[in-house]
Structure 1
Amino acid sequence: MHPEVRKYVESVEEKFRRGGIDTRLNEIECMFLDQVFGPEFSFNFNGLHAQFRVKDYKGGNRFLDFYYESGDIRIIIEIDGYRYHVDGLTAQQYDDHQERQNDLVLSGRWILVRFTANMVMKKPMLCRRQLVQAVGKCLIVAHHCQISTVDHLWAKRKSEIVSLAVQRGIIKVQHVSQRFGVTRKTAYLWLQKLAHDGSLLPHRPTNRRITGYSVPSGTRCHEGTGH
């Protein structure tokens, strides 16, 4: 066993003892740490929690074999022994076990990876590959969420700028800069973007350079009536 794995196992079991829990990591769980997670993460176990306790929707305690969190990466790792599921559980207990997994995955941005004891013992490279794929999927999901958040932020900002233009009649770069605490260059780019999509109209006295922006007449009426 790798020295860092031994150190991690000892720290986990010491934590259990301090909490009054008589629990040890079993042979397969230690093998997972030594042959799968450890090599793939350079034996850095920061962010990895063993026998992690969570609350289900009924308020009961549930335990995950492993839970890994680092930045946007949130992975539940379950390792199932063959006899554990075939001989060790009743049908009702096995249903409850599966229900636990569904509750956790549906409760947030979690990725669930399940390995069997046989996979850990005989196919550690396959387990490592799937673990890396789970990390990649977490990052992809997080990226899409960030895009959604940025789009939402721009929609809100756009609404505020248009409302400000309705109030003032003509809105200028300095107005946006002061309102949002951004540079004049950023304010100018925002106004240009809104002019491009038709939300604002450039104001050009005597057809010269743009001195400000106003809302189209239909928008002004719409905003003014509060409909």
Structure 2
Amino acid sequence: MDFQQEHEAYVSWHQARRSGERLHRLQEGHGHAEKLFLEQLWWPVVGHFQHLHPEYEVKDFQDGTRFLDFAYVRGAHRFAFEIDGFSPHARDIDRGRFGDNLMRQNQLVLDGWKILRFSYDDLTYKKRRCQQLILHMLGRWYGEEAVSVLLTHQEQSILKLAAQSVEPLKTKKVADFLGVRPEAARIWLRRLHAKGMLHPASGEHRVRAYVLNAKAELNWL
């Protein structure tokens, strides 16, 4: 699946699990800038949206609620991603609201959130720099473990195929499913094996078929 298909599925999945104000904020708040963040930064380097929540609700310092543009919640770490536009509204914000926004961010930090902010211009003109920041984040706090979840959309499709297959997965079946040459399918199968997502169906030296790792099925699919 390409980005457009994955993005539609991602938003639909979250919409189906929300109601009331949480659903309204997702429908109204997830707009052009947020989609641009996913398309230009997140998707090219991560390849999926696992652990990433759009318009994520959190309690604020006044016992109310606020919504983060995105929250990446995985293990013991929580990251907030905020997309900041530049507009006359931003320049004309009153002092009370300006101070309130700063206090809200301070509270997030005290509550254990790590905050990354991106300007709309950076999404458009400094994509590579922003992508490197995301990779740095994953590498610093998750180390080698991060590699196992950085799956391309082809690898994701193979895992879904493996989960649906009764028989062990062979190269020809993967190649036919993806519409690629057997050599490409074989490379992706080996990568998934290296990442611990697939296991050889039999033998280790001359692998002809693979089965889904039970841990991968529980934690990823």
Tell me if TM exceeds 0.5.
Answer: yes
CA–CA distance in 2 between the matches of 1:52 and 1:19? 14
CA–CA distance in 2 between the matches of 1:11 and 1:34? 18
Gaps of 5+ in 1: 141-227
Match of 1:12 in 2: 14
Alignment of 1:40-189 (within 5 A): 40-42=45-47, 44-83=48-87, 86-87=90-91, 89-108=93-112, 110-139=113-142
Aligned identity (percent) is 31
Q: Which deviations, in whole Å up to 9, do the C-alpha atoms of 1:91-141 show, x marking residues without a partner?
A: 221221121111111212x3210001111122222111111222233347x
The AA in structure 2 aligned to 1:9 is V
CA–CA distance in 1 between the matches of 2:58 and 2:69? 11
The AA in structure 1 aligned to 2:121 is N
Alignment of 1:198-209 (within 5 A): none
In 2 relative to 1, CA 22–57 (structure 1 residues): closer, same or farther, beyond 3 Å? closer
Q: Does 1:31 align with 2:32?
A: no
Shift of 1:10: 3.1
In 2 relative to 1, CA 14–83 (structure 1 residues): closer, same or farther, beyond 3 Å? farther
TM-score between both structures, scaled by the size of structure 1: 0.54
CA–CA distance in 2 between the matches of 1:93 and 1:84? 15
CA–CA distance in 2 between the matches of 1:54 and 1:84? 27
Q: Secondary structure at the match of 1:22?
A: helix
8 Å CA contact retained: 2:54, 2:71: yes
Aligned-residue CA RMSD in angstroms?
2.2
Higher RCO (CA 8 Å, separation ≥ 6 residues)? 2
In 2 relative to 1, CA 105–35 (structure 1 residues): closer, same or farther, beyond 3 Å? same
In 2 relative to 1, CA 95–84 (structure 1 residues): closer, same or farther, beyond 3 Å? farther
Q: Secondary structure at the match of 2:66?
A: strand
Residues matched between the structures, number: 137
Give the number of the structure whose alpha-carbon radius of gyration is greater: 1
8 Å CA contact retained: 1:9, 1:30: no
8 Å CA contact retained: 1:68, 1:74: yes
Shift of 1:60: 1.4
